[in-house]
Amino acid sequence: MIIIVTGTDTGVGKTVTTAALAIRCGAGTIVVKPAQTGVGPDEPDIAVVRRLAGCEVAEFTRLEDPLAPDTAARLRGVDIPPIREYAERIRELATHRTVLVEGAGGLLTRLDTDGGTLLDLAAELAPVQVYIVTRVGLGTLNHTELTVNALRARGLEPVGLVLGCVPGSLDLAEERNLTELPRVTGVPVAAAIPEGAGLLAPEQFRARTEAWFDGARVTARHEVR
Look at residues 218, 214, 2, 206 and name the one whose alpha carbon lies nearest to residue 101: 2
- What's the rounded Cα separation, in Å, for the pair 132 and 212? 15
The answer to whether the annotation marks 203 as part of a ligand binding site is: no
- What's the rounded Cα separation, in Å, for the pair 93 and 165? 30
The answer to whether the annotation marks 14 as part of a ligand binding site is: yes
The answer to whether the annotation marks 215 as part of a ligand binding site is: no
Is there a contact between 81 and 92 (Cβ–Cβ < 8 Å)? no
- What's the rounded Cα separation, in Å, for the pair 184 and 169? 23
Active site residues: 33
The answer to whether the annotation marks 13 as part of a ligand binding site is: yes
The answer to whether the annotation marks 64 as part of a ligand binding site is: no
Terminal-to-terminal C-alpha distance of the chain: 31
The answer to whether the annotation marks 162 as part of a ligand binding site is: no
The answer to whether the annotation marks 77 as part of a ligand binding site is: no
Cite the annotated binding site for substrate by residue number: 37
Cite the annotated binding site by residue number: 11-16, 37, 45, 102-105, 164-165, 195
